[in-house]
Structure 1
């Protein structure tokens, strides 16, 4: 039996509950649009810890560190490019402390998000430069106590390859999820089945693969189903959907999803083959508890049809129905003020 907690739990259980949104919940604790949430690991560690605690109390088996934008490329936007290792190590230490006092096994997953840059051959960032940045981030997370590295919200094959390679330098298990929010593809045109085949063909393949963020629960379940023809029988698939889509009302973003809808989503994701299920943008502790409770003792059924998914979760959200999709720990799924620079910079929210 392995001594890695994540692999041990996956071997013992039929499913694990991943956490919800860091950014949404940091906003509720005072984070301002445009701020770097990773700086809160030093400036407000108690507030970051309280988010982790909220998810542990709701039943999370896996909590993701507050380090989504903790690579040197993204931190350069805040003149903190030389602090990637420090901020990521601190992020993992905060999560580790919460996990260790939970009274039950809780996995600390080191969150690694995209750089916000374009990789060769489309853009200027080389594979080696990307790998080095992700490796620096991963080292900080592992040195701070992360059990695994969790790469999320990636859109291109090139960046995902660099991220997995960088994370793999630590020797820890790697999870990799992509975001299929553009007519069933990632922003860079990758389908769910192509993503699975690509990730499993890398020199060091991720231990778990799946879909996160996007246009809501319907799209996420359809993305998981889209991998079905490509996945192996023993694959560990991850579903981490947004809690609906964001709406700007009364000066703030709210999400259209409800605990009841996300409970239905959790069971449909499980029916579709996902073994790790949680929420992304908009997912609070209340929503995560609904996900947890919906799966407690649940026996998965047959894979649902598209009609059954739409009937339960609603139709796919149209791109015109919501703000442009930014992303991240520090902002809702909306443009990040002042940081776009003409590129779509995702932040996990």
Structure 2
């Protein structure tokens, strides 16, 4: 049995070979990639979809790329080349774009598929390990996925080549996403479930503690009332409000955190003579109720001194409540 050091060394060798294949492809990526993305984008803009195909390991890559395309705003389906020649070719429509993956660049199944499908769609583009193969002559543009060597020690099993082909598929998907202006809000609509969907859809308003659940005092409140409010609401801080905002809500003028109280204690016997205005933080960071919860989390953490809560205000500065770091943790956003 190999020693643990030999096992680790083999794993590192494989990753190095595949990483080198990706690095080499960066410099080789050129006009074929641009033409493919532009052609596919035009097909999508005209109302078509992307029909992705491949056989063997390339077929598995093609399935994954089709899924990535669909989830990032480019409608795509996978078409098995053998099934296509037995009736499934009916899925191809005149405005569709065909995206073909092949390691050899000359698979018989794909040659037959392209001959039959090319007249039915707007164009065909290929990602081929052999960009000079027979398939390239049937495509409008070709992206090379050639690699110097596979990670397989016998240079047989598709390893580095399939990794590179999948990475090129990702590059096509991301380029199309950028051209389409597909942003986080679009992504959220396509991913309503799971942690990712929750992070994209949850807003501050979904998690905040509103009026009646939040400590609100005037600037004239005595320090005893401040301490009692902090103890009662246990939200790391309270809001200091004065008068009314244009919305009719109490107007936020500051906040007092537990840290502010600890610092005020250094005044010793003068502490109990203080009022809220003496210890509050004026012009605190705030969020709107429609702010993404993950953005509120970033506001709390990406600052010189981290904070545990944020006041939630409306457009006129009216205080609506607070959002706590603990609320974001409980929602599974951290």
TM-score (norm 2): 0.27
TM-score (norm 1): 0.26
